[in-house]
Amino acid sequence: MTTKRFLSKTDRAERLNPQHHAHLVEALNATDDDGDSYVDYFYDEPGSMPGTLTIEEDASHPVIFLIDYDPNQANRVKIQAPEDCAPHLKSSSVSWIDVQGLGSENILRRLGNVFKLHPLVLEDIVNVPQRPKVEEYDEHLLLILRMVTLREDGTRFLSEQVSFILGENYLLTVQEEPHYDCFGPVRERIRTSKGNIRKHGVDYLTYALLDAIVDGFFPVLEMYGEQLEELEDEVVANPSRQTLERIHEIKRQLLTLRRAVWPQRDAINSLIRDGNALISDEVRVYLRDCYDHIVQILDILETYRELASSLMDVYLSSISNKMNEIMKVLTIISTIFIPLTFIAGVYGMNFDPEIIGNMPELNFPYAYWICWGVMLTIAISLIFYFKRRGWFDNFSRIKE
């Protein structure tokens, strides 16, 4: 039996500042609509049989496409049965077999038989998510990566695992979802013979797809950069509970991206450093450029994560400053009424004015109006003093 591990939202909140535990739990509950931001990599139950395939209930049925090309022509067809791929494994042209979906164990095992995949390779391909990595076998090379694409609403991203099986003249790719990927420009370049892709071998095709995956992170990072800029203004001008939720949501998603990018950097570096007979020296030069891009992505990610953390500090400071200004206004109001309360308290005592020493001013003519005049004079004097000090500016800030 196999399973996936999740870190509960409450546990995540308890690792943060205990004073904000209740608020953060609400924020995490409000923003965790995907449930996979902190998903751990797939692992087997202790004692389970190696090579066990676990198919998700909602996994899409596999659809197989073949793109076969050489410098003179390119064809794209839909493969009906996995066995139909066998003639293309030894062909002189470049064959890209693209499997979209993981919803049929029968089809996937038949693919494993056609491509002579080790049971553990098939397990890594099917049991998602796996940590991005590179593994060498006798006749092929296994490469597992994470691919991200923007949602249609442009506010979050979708992530899926893509597995590469690189052979001498063929490339097998297996995707989790058939509905989206970032390989469209590569398919179009093959179809129109744009650039040099049809003049090179299958290793260059692998590089082109890797480069498309890496470049797919930049639009996602651009989206988060814009969101962080908006949050910067919101945190300073008008922080609220929704601001807190958005900050935590972005921090969690940036962590998810980092966990996808970091091991991919190591995997691509392994292709460059270790070398393999299936990858030419010319393509390794291109892979160095791909490695530079992924290092740049990591730098941007770290910058955004630090900025998101600093936004949390600014949020807490803004809330504290807002509370201090509220207390300052209340203190001003209390200060104005303290002497008035004192006078009202003194003259509210039940002393007999006829007895010597007991408030003779109670018998003065217009004593009531004199008392009011003194109190108003004190109040107006304090208001004028506070206004000169600029303390009444806090009223407008609080209203904002």
pLDDT at 42: 62
The Cα-based distances of 285 to 189, 201, 203, 297 in angstroms read: 20, 15, 12, 19
Per the prediction, the chain carries an average pLDDT of: 82
Which of residues 113 and 382 earns the better pLDDT score? Answer: 113
pLDDT per residue as tens digits for the range 14-37: 333 444 334 433 443 444 444 444
Mean pLDDT of 298-318: 88
Task: Say if pTM beats, i.e. exceeds, 0.85.
Answer: no
Rounded CA-CA distance 4/197 in Å is: 39
Instruction: Determine the residue type at 99.
Output: V
**Please, what are the domains in the chain?**
1-40 (no CATH), 48-317 (3.30.460.20), 328-399 (1.20.58.340)
pLDDT at 26: 43
Rounded CA-CA distance 64/87 in Å is: 15
